[in-house]
Copies of this chain bind each other. A is one copy, B any other.
Amino acid sequence: MTVVLRTLRVESNGGGGLSDLTDRVTDEIRETSLDAGTVTVFVKHTTAAVTIIEVEPGLVDDYEQFWDRLAPREAAYKHHLVPGEDNGHAHVRASTLGPSLVVPFVDKCMTLGTWQRVVMMDFDTPPRTREVVLQVMGE
């Protein structure tokens, strides 16, 4: 049994946008010596989150708009009383969706269904570089 930590730097567009991480996670698993186990995909930020979705452009729009309605950017947030802060919506969304996703793999491949893609949602306003940790564990 082995534990391998990898870090991805992801250039996001911000604004609630989605980044597809699937191919990069797949590559990182292949580069380890592990055949089977789990990968924990963990985003090191409080205004971004990870999940799985079908990356169909219409659906991606639907999903971004779903979060816009659920925790609107324009709503009143006490967090904005802190000087310089204007991203209460991004924190609320990120904590609800969650920064951590665990995916099994076998024969060096994640056990994803046909349409499943591992994605990061960057709910914060500006584009930026995000760090995503992959903890690959198995044998």
Q: Which chain A residues have a beta carbon within 8 Å of chain B's beta carbons? A: 1-3, 5, 36-38, 40, 42, 44-46, 51-54, 56-59, 61-63, 66, 70-71, 77-82, 88, 91-92, 95-104, 106, 111-113, 115-116, 131, 133, 135, 137-139
Contacts and interface: CB of A to CB of B under 8 A. Distances in A.
B139 A37 contact: no
Give me the 8 closest cross-chain CB pairs, A-B, nearest first.
A58-B78, A1-B1, A104-B135, A44-B113, A59-B79, A53-B95, A46-B54, A3-B36
A87 B106 CA distance: 30
Given A79-B58, A81-B58, A96 B66 contact: yes
B96 A51 contact: yes
A2 B3 CA distance: 11
A102 B59 CA distance: 27
A77 B51 contact: no
30 contacts: A1-B3, A5-B36, A36-B135, A37-B137, A38-B40, A38-B137, A42-B102, A44-B112, A45-B116, A46-B52, A51-B95, A51-B98, A52-B95, A52-B99, A53-B91, A56-B79, A58-B79, A58-B82, A59-B78, A59-B88, A59-B91, A62-B92, A66-B71, A66-B92, A96-B96, A97-B98, A98-B98, A104-B135, A111-B133, A113-B131
